[in-house]
Amino acid sequence: MSSKQQASAVLRRSILIGAALLLAGCQARPLYNNDDGQTREALAAIAYSPANGRVGLEVRNRLIFLTSGGSGESVTPQYRVQLDVQSSVAGILLDEAADTPNAGRAVVSATYNIRRISDDTALKAGRRESVALFDYPKQEFAKLRAVRDAEDRAARELAELVYADLAMALGR
């Protein structure tokens, strides 16, 4: 074997070993579940602050459903989430002739923080926002219902975003 072939073989081996070491440092694991299910149990042990309004109640109820797997709020919580939800609705496409909006935008935002109850340690704080667009129909009741449906869609999406944040915070 010539020295060029030996150098080439050594280079290939060292590249393979380097790639193997790099890949050994990578890991892929589920976001909501570590080896012994601690994240799922921690999510089920969360208590939520009382809701402030209809949209806040939608977000809170959806979070309870997502974190508990449908079994309701924890009787013996280990974590407390302070949740403050705000919502606003605005018309975005104005009909110039009638001076009324044709489409609207519902924005639901939440400021939250999660604390461990045993030592009152703050684990994560954040703010999330969700937007739902809707059309204003001609009938008055249908307009009210369209606004409510848009707020509910935005609230459900917001709960999913907050849930993902809580799962990441408790999965560490």
Q: Is residue 126 part of a domain?
A: yes
Q: Which tokens in the block code for residue 135? A: 């059309």
Contact of 105 with 129, CB cutoff 8 Å: no
For each of the chain's 172 residues, which pLDDT tens digit applies? 567 777 788 888 888 887 777 776 665 555 555 556 788 888 888 999 999 999 999 999 999 999 988 888 888 899 999 999 999 998 877 666 666 768 889 999 999 999 999 999 999 999 999 999 998 888 889 889 999 999 999 999 999 999 999 998 888 7
Domain count, the chain: 1
Q: Is residue 3 part of a domain?
A: no
Handedness of CA 124, 121, 110, 172 (dihedral sign): positive
Contact of 79 with 88, CB cutoff 8 Å: no
pLDDT computed for residue 10 by the predictor:
81
User: 3-state DSSP helix/strand/coil percent for the chain, to nearest 5?
Assistant: 45, 30, 25
Gap between the Cα atoms of 108 and 114, Å rounded: 19
Counting Cα atoms < 13 Å in the Cβ hemisphere of 122 gives 6
CA dihedral 123, 32, 58, 125 (to 10 degrees): 20
* Domain range for 72: 32-170
Distances (CA, A) of 61 to 43, 55, 83: 14, 10, 12
Q: Is residue 1 part of a domain?
A: no
Residue type, 121: T
Q: Is residue 43 part of a domain?
A: yes
Q: What is the CATH number of the domain that holds 156?
A: 3.30.160.150
Q: Is residue 27 part of a domain?
A: no
Q: Is residue 63 part of a domain?
A: yes
Q: Is residue 22 part of a domain?
A: no
Residue 159, H or E segment: helix 140-170
pLDDT computed for residue 16 by the predictor:
83
pLDDT computed for residue 65 by the predictor:
95
Q: Is residue 4 part of a domain?
A: no
pLDDT computed for residue 155 by the predictor:
97
Beta bridge partners of residue 101, listed in sequence order:
94
